[in-house]
Each structure stands twice: as structure tokens, then as C-alpha cells.
Structure 1
Amino acid sequence: MTYARAGVDVSQVRKSHEALARLLESTFKTRKGRVGHPIFPIGHYAGLVDLNDGRVLSLHTDNVGTKVIIAQLMRKYDTIGIDCVAMCANDLICTGAEPISFLDYLAMAKHDRRIVNEIAVGLVEGAKQAGMAIVGGETAIVPDLLSSDPGIDLVGMAAGICRNKDLILGNKIQNGDSLIGVASSGIHSNGLTLARKILLKEYKLQERVPELGRSVGEELLEPTLIYVKPVLEAIANTQIHGLAHITGGSFGKLERILGQAKLGARIDQLPPTPPIFQLIQEKGHVTDLEMRRTFNMGVGFVLVCPDEEVTRVDRLFKRHGHPVFELGRVQKKRGVWIEDAQID
């Protein structure tokens, strides 16, 4: 089984993004010379606009994807709000920005106060972890657009702020820099379409699986970790050359920052594979390459730094309760490589 066969062809999505970005960038000239002028092309982790006072506003929007289907099937909605915040906040910090504000968009086939309240619990918890204020949002009841029982979609939009001179976009990455991976909590919010189609053929959602120590549904609903506080502390106290949130496309996401320096990376060692990914690979007969192109494989975030900073970064994240791993190094050869296979 592959992600494309499951219905998500990442390579085609990437091509669409590239074509769409070129069209959207034609609007940049509307703000030329004014507050809000974009200072970087579309395609990084966040949009960057100049505030004309030495600061930059960083903007990002994202959603929970098909993780909402698991929440629907489990009738449990109090954690997907955390995922929604995480998907936005973790991307914002990849530019060096501090997340400050969040908006949510909740679409429903029919209004259900209990579901709304449960989702809000997660949004509030996520915002507190990220240090953001939720300043508003929109709830849309669209029965003709979404199927019932109950039919929902959850989207977030977040803003961050950073001094222009403190932006971290990857252009300062150097050949030989170390790649430091930070542990994920599991599948996070990407690859759920493939995981669901494989695992739900083998197990009932609420069936306890010995390898997981809990049910498939509970495992898949484990919230995405929010890395804001340790990453901002690392930026303030160590030399960081690049930051990458490992989401859709997995380690191929590193190309977003490595490309700014016209360099590549070689990952020599991944952490021990978490049980959820072992199970997906075994039951779905998924190749190593496809797994590494689709899932985070136990690594939710990557920092790129000089060798002399590795120990300090390691101690800092462990102090925050996040295990870290030395994954590999930046190299002159372009692309992202794991065991001689190109991932991106």
C-alpha cells in the first residue's frame, strides 16, 4: 500500500502548490512599499510580511486533516483542537517567529453544542501550550457541503511576530551542520488516510492492540506535540541555522530550509521505530521508503545547528521533557537522503 493509492499523492499536491504559489504571488505588488508587503516567496513554512518597523508578521493556516474522522468514529473531540493549534504554531516557529494569535474555523453538517464545546477544550489547551491568544473564529453550519454523523472540518490560522534580523529561514545553514531530531508523540496529524485504510481493515477502532498498549483509536488520536516553548528557548540561547516541522511529506520537508542554502542532508540514523509505525508497515506491506516519505517515524521536529551547539540543544529539550536524536548532517549533495535513498 502507498499513500498515493490511499488517495493522497504528495508529489501531485506539491506540483499544484507550486503552480498556485506563482499565481498568488502576483498579488504581492498590491502592498509594495506599504505595511504588509511580503518579503519572501510562497513556499516556506509561513507567509512573511513586513510591518515597516523592523518586525515581520508570520502567517500560517492549516487543518487537522482526516484525523477528524477518527474523532468522529470515537465520538471523542477534546484533543483535535490541540492538533489544530500544533499544526499552525509548529510551522510558525520554523521561521523564528513567536506565535501570538490564533483563529479557528469549524464547519459542521449540523450544530452540536457538545462537539463544539469539546473541540474548544482542545483549542484552549493547545493555545496555552503554544502561548497564543485565541482572538476569534467562525462556526459554519453547511449541511449541503458535509455529510452528516456528524460531519466536521477544523481549520486554524495563526500569526507570529519576529524581528526581521532574527528570522531563521535556512539561508545560514552550512555544510556539516548537525540535524537534531525531536521525538514525536506518534502519528501526529499526517498520514492518517493511509494509516486508517490499513489499520481499520485489521482492527476495530476501539479494539485494544497489545503492540500499542491501547486501542487503535486512542493511538491515532494522541495529540500532536507542540514544540513552541523549547524551540523559542533554543533560538534565544543557542545558534540555530534551520528549523523544520516534520508533517506531510515527512523528511522531505527539510528541503524547504536546505534549499535556501543550496545544500542537502543525509540522515544516518533514525530513532527506534514507534510501535504504531511498525504496525502500519507490517499490516499494509509498506516499503521503508514509502514509510519515510509519509510518516514522521518518531521525529516530529528537526533543528539544524553547528556541532558545538548539539549538547546544549540536547540538554535544553530534555529539560522540557522532549527526547532528542542526532539524525545526521547537512551535505553539499542536494536532496534529503536516508540510507542512499532520496526522500524528497
Structure 2
Amino acid sequence: MNSFSDSYKAAGVDVTAGYQSVELIKKHIARTKIDGVMSGIGGFGGLFRPNLTGMNEPILVSGTDGVGTKLKVAFLMDKHDTVGIDCVAMCVNDVVCSGASPLFFLDYIACGKNFPERIEKIVSGIAEGCVQSGCALVGGETAEMPGFYPEDEYDLAGFSVGMVDKEKMLEPEKMQAGDVLIGIQSSGVHSNGFSLVRKVFELSEKNINLHIDELGMTLGEALLTPTKIYVKSALAAIESANVKAISHITGGGFYENIPRMLKQGLCAKVEKTAVPTLPIFNIMQVKGGISEHDMFNTFNMGVGMCMAVDKNDAQKAMDAINAAGETAFVLGELVEGEGIELC
């Protein structure tokens, strides 16, 4: 390619680095190709032809998010091959809450300087997240923005589009008192609350590689553990049982996210002893002097996803989730009332 600009490079933008990045990420994007993908990278838009066979009224469901200040941990550790999984997870886990299967994903990487090898690592994680969720990476954008971002930093965001037949969409209106709340275990902090995490641990190059016995790994490794992608396990539960609603436990923890799936007149009664609180949360609560309420109002506490299921189907749903490779457990039940009650 003969496209280059010495003047633009002098201003801090190296277009040739962008071309090199594209070449390096092609093999990762190829891993995500599924039926329906109609274009390769390089065009002005990603093309996808959905399979509408057997669908009476297809509904598109979209979700968008970023990784947030968890990226600061990646910068400290100079490890960039997992945050892409987080980016995909934050989007597709939202999409599946409607009962939809993610179809495709697009990313946006903004950086102070384009280091092609680092962009490749980021995209390798994005591709892995797409493979885990069964969707295709059909496009993206890498923007080199000198003077806006420091040279060694970047931001990462994306969005996903999924589809579900209207008759198979989850219907919270069918929820009733007595329905069982099922939790699916998280892998750690996931990608929320990292401004508080960083404050509690006062993260720096001095302590990021400190081994913590309770975690069985370094602090940085624990914090960079990728967000769980629940698409396959959630869809398996929906296929096997009468799942009425799903909540992705992200920023705002239990208090903000679980009520989002409830219909008026119902309260989620959660048994705190049923929550498989992970060691990282116990450490943060003690070290930061954080109240129990604030912990449950900020973090997932070990529960990455919660679903309301007909009480007669609770075991079927848990069996399907466990068979899909995740860990499910009874978290509580729905009762008459409003909001959420932790008891």
C-alpha cells in the first residue's frame, strides 16, 4: 500500500502502523467466523446475513460497554491479551438477558500511539471472547490519538447485536412469588468497581506482582482474571427450563441489577449465606473498611449472573448450566414486595 504521510507522522499518527496492525489481527478475526458473515475486514461496514429459519418475528437485541479502569491494571502489568474478553463479556452477557443469541461484535480501540503488537494482543482477547460466546467479530476501529491519550495507554469499548424470536423472549411479566433465584458463579471482580479496587489496594508497580496466599496468585493476576461469558450456559438453561428473567450483575452489584429484571410487586429475597463470596472480595472489604451494603452495591461478590426460574424447573436449569461448564446454585426466591432484600 502506498498510503503514507510524513506530515501526519510528524504530528504523532503513523498510518503505516495501522496497516501493520490490521495484518496482525487477521488470523484472530478468522477464528470468529460463523455462518452469516459476508465480509472480511477492511470495508466500511461489517456484513452479516442472519438465519431467520423457523423465526416468526425476529427481534434484534443490542448491547454496548467498555472495560473501564480495569485497563489500568493491564497497563501496570503490561498484559493486554485478556481485556478483550472482558469487553466482549460486558456486551454479550447483557444481550443474552433478553434470551437472545449474540450474532456479531465490533470493537473500538483508542490509543495514544499505535503499537501493532499490542493491538494484536488486545484483539486476540476480543476474538477469544467472540469464540466463547459464539458470535463473529465483523469489524472495528483503531484510532491513534496523540495528545489525547498517553502513549502507553488506550481505551477499549465495543458493542454486540443478537437476535431472538419474539415468542422466545424472556417475559418478566410471567414471574410470580415462589419462583427460584439461581446464581451463576463469577470468576472474580469481572470489569466493574475498579476505581474502588484501585483505591483500596493503592495499585502500583510495587504491589501489582505481590503474591497473595488467599488468592493463590499475584494481586495483578487476580484482578485481571477475565469476566465470565455466560451466553452458552444461559441459553442452555433457557432451552431446558422455564427461565423467566435474567440479570447480569455488573456495576451497582446486587442492589441495582437484580431489581432491573423484576416486575412490579415482586421482591428478590437473597440469602447472603448462599452467595459464594470469593476471597478477593473479603480481602477488599477488610482492607478498605467497606460496609457490607457498599460491597453488595458495587461488586458481584461471586455471582456474575442471576436468573428467575419456575420453582419446578430450578434443578433442570442448574443441571443445564453446570453441564455447560459453569457453577449454578440456588440464591433465593421471589416474594411479594419491591426491590431486593438480602437476609
What band does the TM-score fall into relative to the shorter chain? 0.7 to 0.9
Secondary structure, counterpart of 1:294 in structure 2 = coil
CA-to-aligned-CA distance 1:175-218 (integer Å, 9 cap, x gap): 11110000000111111111111113697001111111111110
Per-residue CA shift, 1:50-107, capped at 9, x if unaligned? x996111001110011111110110000000000010011000001111010000000
Q: 2:191 aligns with which of 189, 192, 196?
A: 189
Distance in 1 between the 2:172 and 2:119 partners? 39
Provide runs of 4+ in structure 1 moved above 4 Å.
none
- 2:176 corresponds to: 174
2:127 pairs, out of 103, 124, 129, with: 124
Residue in structure 2 matched with residue 318 of structure 1 by the alignment: 322
Largest Rg, 1 or 2: 2
Q: Distance in 2 between matches of 1:88 and 1:201?
A: 27
RMSD value, Cα:
1.7
Could you tell me whether the CA contact under 8 Å between 1:100 and 1:133 is conserved in 2?
yes
State the Cα distance separating 1:168 from its structure 2 match.
Answer: 1.1
Residue in 2 that maps onto 1:14: none
Residue 42 (structure 1) aligns with: none
Q: Is the 1:174–1:261 Cα contact (8 Å) retained in structure 2?
A: no
Aligned partner of 2:218 in structure 1 is: 215
How far 1:247 moved relative to its partner? Answer: 0.5
- Counterpart position of 1:8: none
Mapping for residues 227-306 of structure 1, pairs under 5 Å: 227-251=230-254, 252-258=256-262, 260-269=263-272, 270-306=274-310
**Cα shift at 1:272:** 3.3
For the residue of structure 1 that corresponds to 2:68, the secondary structure is: coil
TM-superposed CA distance for 1:158, in Å, is 0.3
The 8 Å contact of residues 193 and 299 in structure 2, kept in 1 or not, is answered as yes
Distance 1:272 1:227 in 2: 17
Q: Return the letter of the residue paired with 1:197.
A: K
SS in 2 for 1:56: strand
Unmatched segments (≥5 aa) in structure 1:
1-50, 340-344
Alignment check: 8 A CA contact 1:173 1:261 kept: no
2:172 is paired with a residue whose SS is: coil
After TM superposition, the score normalised by the length of structure 1 is 0.80
CA distance in 2, matches of 1:228, 1:73: 30
Q: Structure 2 counterpart of 1:154, which letter?
A: L
Contact between 2:101 and 2:162, CA under 8 Å: does it hold in 1?
yes
Amino acid paired to 2:148: L
C-alpha contact 2:92 2:102 (8 A) present in aligned 1: yes
SS at match of 1:171: helix
Tell me if the contact between 1:240 and 1:305 (Cα under 8 Å) persists in the aligned partners.
yes
> Which of 325, 328, 332 does residue 328 from structure 1 map onto?
332
Shift of 1:261: 4.3
Give CA-to-partner distance per residue, 1:24-58, whole Å, 9 cap, x none. Answer: xxxxxxxxxxxxxxxxxxxxxxxxxxx99611100
